[in-house]
Amino acid sequence: MPPVRSTVERMDKPSSYASSKKRRRYRDDDASRVSPEVEDKLKDATTLYVGNLSFYTTEEQIHELFSKCGEIKRLVMGLDRFQKTPCGFCFVEYYSHQDALDCMKYIGGTKLDERVVRTDLDEGFVEGRQYGRGKSGGQVRDEYRQEYDPGRGGFGRALNDDYGERDDYR
């Protein structure tokens, strides 16, 4: 029997970012669809990428919120490549896949430190991925950002950079 489709779209699906590069090449492809191979990689995922944090948000704050979905095994702060200071993202690793899914459903899209944080299932932290990949050391999205964001270092640091936030942690 094929899997029964829910009458509402679920929020704990692996998001599309893991295949974002592929998608950029095939813009006609549906944005919400995740390729089976990616989905396969994420089917036991216990790690989440957490984005849109303020630079000032601490590990403790993240811990306080994210442990509402289960015990946290590891928390890796995203750092500016040069200054080694927080640059607005992190990886949260749980002990169980279910906790990671629950986090997608219950915490993704809610506020931490008065900012709406974004969560995405992630295939797992690898050393090196904690650093920003923008030219000036932070996340790429903060290079080109035209709006003033006091929580993320003011205006973008280099507006004419390549674009695509996902490059930061891939």
Partner 1 sequence: MADLDVGPSGRRDRGNRSRGSNNHNFNRPPKRPRPDDSYMDDGYNERGQSQHDRRHRGTAVNARLQRMLVNIAGSTKLPQDEAMDIARQFGEHFDDEAVKTEFFDHLVQLIIEQPFRIPHVAAVAFYANDDKPEITAEAIKRVAGRTQEMLNAGQWKEFKLLLRFFACIQSLLEGDGVFFLLDQLFDTVVDLQSANENDVVGLELVKIILLTIPYALVSGGSSFYGKASELLEKTSIVATNRLPMETLVELYVSDSPEKPIPYHSALGLLQTQLEKEAESGWNFACIPRFPKYIPRKIDDDQPMPSAPRLHALPTIRIPSPVNPGPKLLFPEAYFSLYTDHELETVPKTTDVASSLLRDAIVDTINQLDGNRDEAARILVQLSNYWALDTFAPSGTPPDKLEEVAKDQKIPPGSTLWKSEDMIIDAIFSQLFKLPGPEHKLVYYHTLITQSCKFAPAAIAPSLGRAIRFIYKSIDVMDLELVNRFCDWFSHHLSNFEFRWRWAEWIEDLDRSNLHPKKAFIIAALDKEIRLSFAKRIRSTVPVEYHSLIPEAMDEDRSPDFKYDNPLTPFAQEAQTLLTLIKKRVPEKDIQETIDKIHEQAIGLDFKDVLVPSTDVFVTAICRLGSKSLSHVLSCIERGKERLLNIANTSPAARRQIVASVVEYWKDQPGIAINIVDKLLNYQILAPSTVIEWALGDYLGAGEALTEGWVFEMVANTVAKVSGRIHQIVTARLQKGLPAEQIQLVEATLTKDRESSRALFKLIEDSVSAVAQGSANHLIEKETNGELSAEDGQLIRDWAKRWQTVFIRKSQVEESVVGEEAVDAKIRLLAAEPEPEPEPESTSMHEGNGFAEHKVNGEEEMV
Give the interface with partner 1 as residue ranges (CB under 8 A).
Answer: 1-13, 19, 22, 26, 28-30, 32-36, 39, 43, 58-61, 63-65, 68-71, 75, 77, 97, 101-102, 105-107, 110-114
* Residue 133 neighbours by CB under 8 Å, 6+ apart: 81, 139, 140, 167, 168, 169
Q: How far is the CB of 51 from partner 1 (least distance, A)?
A: 18
CB closer to partner 1, 73 vs 158: 73
CA distance 26 to 10: 24
Q: How far is the CB of 28 from partner 1 (least distance, A)?
A: 5
CB closer to partner 1, 71 vs 155: 71
Q: How far is the CB of 22 from partner 1 (least distance, A)?
A: 5
Q: How far is the CB of 102 from partner 1 (least distance, A)?
A: 6
- Token pair listed for 71: 């015990």
Unique residue bearing structure tokens 């279910």:
98
CA distance 126 to 35: 22
CB closer to partner 1, 38 vs 140: 38
Closest CA to 83 of 125, 41, 3, 137: 137
- Token pair listed for 43: 């089917």
CB closer to partner 1, 13 vs 157: 13
